[in-house]
């Protein structure tokens, strides 16, 4: 019994000494907080999404307070938060480029064929790691909704065709879904972007293989390149790349595309919410 009491007292004394020492060192080596950074942090929405280019809201707030970055970096908060932060730090509000997400794939259940029956982990990342994907198109959307689960704003939902749908009235451009997609099919695009974009990421150079895996994939025919009045389309890694600084949204490439891969941002993509 005496040994137990001695052990308990010794443990208590040791814990007290270590706790006191830890408190002293925490106080002694503490980095003083910047009140200005704290005020900026309070004005931010707290999504910690990284869309501003910083690991989280704390880091972005510290950079704004230090004057090393602008006040318009938070696409989630938008212009209202930029104005508020500018008032706190005493500068003119920086321009906010509102970003949204676009899915660069149309390989729905009706268009993209499956490799076979899959019974593994029901996530996109799990299917990609364990089976190399579930569709004949190795570049297509896997359709398990990983992107939907990480969206904090209710801007993504799985459609009946097995593809995620973006509600552009709610999307904040936070990039959480962009970073989550193992196929890298979700792209961050400025909300006011104009011009054409290919909604296909199949890089297989063999036209027959593309058609075998997906009825609505880019078959590398080059008609968009040949018929573009502005000469602003090239094929890169077997995918049409549009120079948006030259694109006039004329729609010629959309009309010529036999599988309807190309879409106009302002007419075909952003006009449909949900």
Residues 115 and 146 in one domain: yes
Distance, CA of 18 to CA of 141 (rounded, Å)? 54
Residues 52 and 144 in one domain: no
Last residue of a domain, one of 25, 55, 89: 89
Question: For every one of its 274 residues, what pLDDT tens digit does the chain have, with 9 covering 90 and above?
Answer: 677 777 767 677 777 777 777 776 666 665 677 888 889 999 998 888 888 888 889 999 999 999 898 888 888 888 889 899 999 988 888 778 888 999 999 999 999 999 989 999 999 999 999 999 999 999 999 999 999 999 999 999 999 999 999 999 999 998 999 999 999 999 999 999 999 999 999 999 888 889 899 999 999 999 999 999 999 999 988 899 999 999 999 999 999 999 999 999 999 999 854 4
Residues 134 and 84 in one domain: no
Residue in this structure with the two tokens 């010629």, named with its chain if needed: 252
Token digits of residue 79: 């212009």
Residues 146 and 207 in one domain: yes
In a domain, 177, yes or no: yes
Residues 211 and 125 in one domain: yes
In a domain, 23, yes or no: no
Residues 111 and 58 in one domain: no
Residues 84 and 47 in one domain: yes
Residues 76 and 118 in one domain: no
31 Cβ contact partners less than 8 Å away, ≥ 6 residues apart: none
pTM for this prediction: 0.78
Q: What percent of the chain clears pLDDT 90, i.e. is strictly above it?
A: 62
DSSP per position, 62-129: HHHHHTSS-TT--TTTHHHHHHHHHHHHTSPPPP---EEEEE-----TTTBPBSS---S-SSHHHHHH
Domain that holds residue 50: 35-89
Tally the domains of the chain.
2
- The continuous run of DSSP H or E covering 264 comes out as strand 262-264
Residues 213 and 103 in one domain: yes
In a domain, 54, yes or no: yes
Residues 50 and 115 in one domain: no
Q: What are the phi and psi torsion angles at 63 (to 5°)?
A: -70, -40
């Amino acid at each position: 019994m005496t040994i137990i009491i001695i052990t308990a007292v010794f443990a208590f004394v040791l814990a007290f000494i270590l706790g006191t020492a830890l408190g002293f060192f925490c106080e002694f080596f503490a980095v003083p907080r910047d009140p200005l950074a704290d005020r900026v942090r309070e004005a931010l929405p707290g999504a910690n999404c990284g869309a501003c280019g910083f690991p989280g809201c704390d880091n972005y707030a510290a950079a704004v307070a230090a004057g090393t970055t602008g006040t318009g970096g938070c696409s989630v908060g938008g212009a209202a938060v930029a104005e508020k932060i500018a008032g706190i730090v005493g500068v003119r509000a920086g321009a906010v480029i509102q970003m949204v997400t676009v899915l660069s794939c149309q390989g729905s259940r009706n268009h993209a064929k499956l490799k076979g029956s899959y019974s593994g982990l029901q996530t996109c990342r799990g299917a990609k790691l364990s089976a190399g994907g579930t569709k004949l198109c190795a570049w297509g959307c896997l359709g398990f909704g990983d992107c939907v689960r990480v969206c904090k704003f209710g801007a993504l939902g799985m459609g009946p065709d097995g593809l995620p749908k973006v509600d552009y009235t709610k999307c904040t451009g936070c990039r959480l879904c962009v970073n989550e997609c193992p196929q890298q099919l979700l792209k961050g695009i400025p909300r006011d972007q104009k011009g054409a974009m290919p909604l296909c990421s199949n890089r297989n150079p063999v036209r027959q293989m593309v058609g075998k895996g997906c009825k609505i994939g880019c078959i590398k025919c080059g008609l968009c390149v040949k018929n573009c009045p502005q000469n602003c389309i090239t094929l890169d890694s077997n995918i049409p790349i549009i120079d948006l600084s030259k694109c006039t949204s004329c729609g010629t490439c959309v009309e010529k595309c036999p599988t309807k891969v190309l879409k106009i941002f302002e007419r075909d993509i952003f006009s449909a919410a949900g």
